[in-house]
Structure 1
C-alpha cells in the first residue's frame, strides 16, 4: 500500500501512538485480514520497533474509521481517554478524526505536525545509512540509464529505463522529470533526444520509506559550450554552499550564500537556488529562506538545487544531497554528478 492507499470509499491508515514520556507503551494498530495481512508483511520487511501491536481482523466499515476506532480502544486501555492527544492533522482523514472524537469525548486533540516534523529533522545513524544507500543506488541508476541512451530515444523511454534500473537496485521510483533542451518542459514525453541536445534528469526514489532527491545532466554527444558554462555555474554554487554547511550555521545564511553564488554567474538572472530538508518526506525540515531562524545540526539531511534556464540550451540543473556532520557535511550519492556525454 505504499503506492496506492485508496480502498473502496476510504484509505488504508495504520496508527502509531506514543504516550508522552512512556515510549515503552507505544502501540501500533494495523490490519490483518485476508489479502491485507500486515502480520505477514512484517515477516518480509523485518521487525517493528513497536512491540504493543493490535490488529483489526474484520473491516466492518470504512478502513480508516475502523482502525481509528480500534486505536481509541487502545488509548482507553492505557488510561489516557481524557488525555491531550497530538495528531498529524494534514495526514489524517476526516472520517478517522471524527471517530476518534466520538470514541474519546473527554480527550483534547491538538495538531502535532510541527512537533513531529522537528523530531524528524535530525536523523539517527540508521536513518543516515538508509539515506546514503538510497542516494548511492539512485545515482548509479541515473548514470546507467543515461549511458545506455541512444539518439532518437524519447524522454518517456529514458524514464522507463530509469524505473527498471532503480527496481533492479531495490528502489521504488516516486517520480522523474526528464527534460530535453532547449525546452523547459521536463515532463517525460514523446520528444526525442537528438545529437547535440541536453537532458536534465531529476528524480526521487524510495528505500524503506526514505527518499533520494538528485538531478543530473547529460548530452547526446558533445554538449553546447553554453550548456557547460551554465553547468560550471551550478558546480560553483554547490561548492560554495557545501563549504558553508556545518553545525550551528544559520539556515538563512545558507539561503543567502546560495543565491549570492547563483547571481555571481553572468546568467544569474536566469538562475534559481533551493535548499530543503529530506528524509521520510520530501521538503521537510530544515527550511531555508531569508526569514527562517533555524540552525543546522549534525544529522540533518539537505537537498541543494542549483539551476539555470537558458532559452538557447534548456534547463541545466545539478541537485545534490548532503548530511550535516560534526565538522561540515558529507555528500550522499555524489557518483555521476559530472556532466555525462552519451556516445553517439
Structure 2
C-alpha cells in the first residue's frame, strides 16, 4: 500500500485545510482512517470497537504541507498487518490497546514533528471524552476545531477505482435481492427472508449490513414473525458493503402477479424517480434535482402518502453532497445550491406509504457525469415475483 494508490491528493487536502484554517489533523473515525490509509481496515475491530475497559481507536495524524510527518497509530496486533502489507505513512505505531494509548502516541508524534501550537482538526462525533481531555490537558496551546466537513469534502468526488467498487456493490445487492425474492414463498417469515438475503449477499462477497423489510399492508420494516402471503407486496431495502463502499438499494416484490393498481402505484414511484434523474448532470444544482423530484411527486395521485429524498453516499450511506434536510437523517442541506460535480454519487429514493397496499419504494444509486448520469444496479426495478 503506497501513497500513489490513494483516492485523494495531498494538495487537495492541504487546500481544504487551509480554507478551514487547520494546521494538522487527528482523524479517529474508522471510515475516514480507512480512506486516508488507502482502503485498509483492521479486521479484528471491523464489527466492534470495544475491548476490555476501553475501545479500539485508530488515529491518523496529518500535518498540512508535510506528508513526511504523517503517522498512523494502530492496535498492537496490527504490527503483523504492517509487516505483510506496509502502511504508507513514514511513521507507524502499532502499540495501542486503549483510546488513551492511541491518543498519547498521537500527541507524542505531534510533539516530535514540532506541532505544539495551532489549530488541530478533529472529528467530535468520533473522539472519546477521555481522549479529548488528554489532548486539552497536554497541549494547552492547541485549538481543537471540527474537521468533519473537510474530510467529507475530501471524499466527495470518487476516483475511478472507487466507482468500480460502488457500481459492483449496487449490482451485487440487486442480484441478491432478486434471488431472495424469487426463492421466497407464502408462509416465509420476515426473519427467514432477511436471513436469506444475508446469505445471498454474503456469498456474493458483500458484508451484509442491514435489511429493512415490509410485507403486505404493513409499513413496519423491522424483522418479525409476520409471513408473506399470496397477493401481498414485499419491499426490500438493504445496505451491503464491498471493501468499505456501500451499496444501498430498494426493490419491490409481489407474491403472484401484480394487479393493475399495484402496477399504477409503482409507476407513480418510477415517474418521480425519472423526473429527478432527468435533471442530474454535472453543473446542475442539487436544488434543481430536488425541485424536479418534488414537483413530480406532488402531481401524482398518491402524493399525500409519498415522500421524495436524495442524498450523497460512498463510504457511508449519507455523505457529501448534502442536498436535503428535515428528514430522519437530519443534516443541513449545505450543498443544495452548489453545482453537482462529475463522479459524485447520489442515492435517489421515492417512498409511498399506501394505506391499503403497503410500503412501496424504489431507491437507486447514480453516478453524476458531465453529460448526465450512470445508474448502478439497474436490475429488478419493476415488480419481482416470489415463488408460488
Could you tell me the TM-score, scaled by structure 2's length? 0.82
Give the 3 Å change call, closer, same or farther, for CA 303–55 of structure 1 in structure 2.
same
Superposed CA RMSD in Å reads 1.8
Q: Is residue 247–residue 298 contact of structure 1 (8 Å, CA) maintained in 2?
A: yes
Provide the C-alpha distance between the structure 2 equivalents of 1:191 and 1:51, rounded to a whole number of angstroms.
55
C-alpha deviation, 1:43, in angstroms: 7.2
CA contact (8 A) 1:151 1:195 kept: yes
Residue equivalent to 1:165: 200
Summarize deviations over 1:277-321 as a string: whole Å, max 9, x none.
Answer: 101122111122386323210111010001211111100000000
Q: Summarize the Cα distance change of 1:56–1:191 in structure 2 as closer, same or farther, 3 Å threshold.
A: same
Q: 1:338 to 1:325 in 2, by over 3 A?
A: same
* Residue 236 of structure 1, CA deviation: 1.2
Shift of 1:52: 2.9
Conserved 8 A contact 1:227-1:316: no
Asked if structure 1 preserves the Cα contact closer than 8 Å seen for 2:181 and 2:387, the reply is no
Equivalent position SS for 1:217:
strand
Residue pair 1:224, 1:313 contacting (<8 A) in 2 also: no
Indicate conservation of the 8 Å contact 1:216/1:318, yes or no: yes
- What are the residue-to-residue correspondences of 1:1-344 with 2, within 5 Å? 1-32=45-76, 37-41=77-81, 48-56=87-95, 59=97, 63-289=98-324, 292-344=336-388
- Give the Cα separation in 1 of the matches to 2:67 and 2:290: 36
Cα deviation 1:31-76 (Å, max 9, x = unaligned): 11xxxx22334678x664434311116x4xxx11111111111111
Q: Report which stretch shifted further, 288-297 or 249-258.
A: 288-297
| Shift, 1:169, TM fit | 1.3
TM-score in terms of structure 1 length: 0.92
Q: Give yes or no for contact 1:254–1:288 (8 Å, CA) kept in 2.
A: no
Shift of 1:125: 1.6
Compute the displacement of 1:84 (Å).
Answer: 1.6
User: Helix, strand or coil: the match of 1:153?
Assistant: coil
Tell me, what secondary structure is at the counterpart of 2:275? Answer: helix
CA distance, structure 2, for counterparts of residue 258 and residue 247 of structure 1 = 17
Contact 2:343 2:368 in 1 (8 A): yes
Whether contact under 8 Å (1:69, 1:103) holds in the other structure is no
Relative to structure 1, is the Cα distance of residues 235 and 47 closer, same or farther in structure 2, using a 3 angstrom cutoff? Answer: farther
Is this contact kept in 2: 1:276–1:288, CA < 8 A?
yes
Which consecutive residues of structure 2, in runs of 5 or more, have no partner in the other structure? 1-44, 326-332
Please say if residues 198 and 220 of structure 1, whose CA atoms lie closer than 8 Å, have aligned partners that are also in contact: yes
* Distance in 2, Cα, partners of 1:325 & 1:251: 14
Cα distance change of structure 1 residues 341 and 51 upon mapping to structure 2, 3 Å threshold: farther
Do the aligned residues in 1 keep the contact of 2:285 with 2:338 (CA within 8 Å)?
yes
Distance change in 2, residues 1:267/1:42 (3 Å) = farther
Runs of 4 or more above 6 Å deviation: none
